[in-house]
Amino acid sequence: MNLLAPITPSGWSSLLPEWPVAAAGQPYEGFQYLGAGNLLLLVAAMIVVLRRRGPAPWRGMLPIVVTTGLCALYALSPRVTLAGVVLMDWSDPALEPLAIFRATGRFFWPLSYLLLAGGIGVIVSRLARPAAIGVLCVAATLQAVDLRKPHGERRATSRSEAFHGWRNPLPSPEWHQLLPNYDDLVIYPARQCGTAPIGFEGAAYLAALHGVTINSAEVARYNEDDNRAYCDDLASRIGDGVVDRRTIYLMDDLAAAQFQQRARLPLQCRRIDAITACSPE
């Protein structure tokens, strides 16, 4: 998360200017833009607190304030940035165990929710009812105006026919003749090993229909050492021409020709739909 993330629109605002970011992932995993309406609400709440001091349950709120504050600090990561500038970089192998949480930016969410709830609480508890309603209505209207474009785009996308449909990239009936005779479907390289010759979704669909395994997927959490070992082993077996009798291999044309040439068993390769399929004869 960038220190300016709460006011950095990253393409979402219709009203506020853009701020630079220091890393490509900050407009996504580190995205924290609160919106012009929410920012106005927080400013109004701060003014009210300064002008109308009153009893505040700070002692009772201390646990949640400390917890969300620590989460917000963690959201900054060891590499602290302000706009496009790196202020400090405390990256160290000793911090590797914390990588189990992966992208840190989302740890700001609890504090952002607390700030917004606190802002609303201040407005409704310390202003007269008409004034409180007026402030909240202005903030809500400004928020809607500020974020109208991205929400409009998402609304249009989610209501389009293409959003709710899926076109099978492997429609040939030949797959349904082949797959019942095999146990495994191997894409080389697999999605998790590099640039696969075809998306795994269509192959996974066929594998599910016929009860065969598939080696390619998009995985959010995995053991990097085990994954590297698998990818290296697969590349070695393909390079050495090791063929499993119960496996269909999906490759691009060049890799299929090389594999067929090195294969230790007779191998038949042919183009089916958008991919070359190789299988023992």
* Residue 247 and residue 121 in one domain: no
**What is the Cβ-side half-sphere exposure of residue 111, based on CA atoms within 13 angstroms?**
22
Task: Assess if residue 210 is contained within a domain.
Answer: yes
pTM of the shown model: 0.73
Confidence of residue 87 (pLDDT cuts 50, 70, 90): very high
- Print the domain residue range for 236: 174-280
* Residue 71 and residue 204 in one domain: no
* Residue 43 and residue 158 in one domain: yes
In the chain, the amino acid numbered 92 is D
* Residue 37 and residue 119 in one domain: yes
If one counts the domains in the chain, the total is: 2
* Residue 110 and residue 248 in one domain: no
Parallel, antiparallel or unpaired: strands 79-82 and 267-272: unpaired
Per the CB < 8 A criterion, the answer to whether 187 and 250 are in contact is: yes
Residue found under tokens 């290296």:
232
* Residue 151 and residue 272 in one domain: no
* Residue 149 and residue 210 in one domain: no
Structure tokens given for 261 = 């040439």
From 99, 129, 163, give the residue that closes a domain: 163
Does 56 score more than 80 pLDDT? no
Per the CB < 8 A criterion, the answer to whether 150 and 11 are in contact is: yes
Task: Assess if residue 26 is contained within a domain.
Answer: yes
Per the CB < 8 A criterion, the answer to whether 198 and 169 are in contact is: yes
Coil, helix or strand for 213? strand
Structure tokens given for 220 = 């959010």
* Residue 99 and residue 148 in one domain: yes
Distance CA 182, CA 240 (A): 21
When mean pLDDT is compared across 31-40, 214-223, 261-270, the lowest value belongs to: 214-223
* Residue 157 and residue 203 in one domain: no
Confidence of residue 57 (pLDDT cuts 50, 70, 90): low
Task: Give percent above pLDDT 90 in the chain.
Answer: 85
From 108, 129, 163, give the residue that closes a domain: 163
* Residue 203 and residue 132 in one domain: no
Task: Assess if residue 71 is contained within a domain.
Answer: yes
Per the CB < 8 A criterion, the answer to whether 192 and 227 are in contact is: yes
Task: Assess if residue 169 is contained within a domain.
Answer: no
Structure tokens given for 107 = 């740890």
Instruction: Specify which residues 79 forms β-bridges with.
Output: 89
Task: Assess if residue 157 is contained within a domain.
Answer: yes
Per-residue pLDDT tens over the stretch 116-163: 999 999 999 999 999 999 999 999 999 999 999 999 999 999 999 889
* Residue 130 and residue 183 in one domain: no
Does 53 score more than 80 pLDDT? no
* Residue 43 and residue 152 in one domain: yes
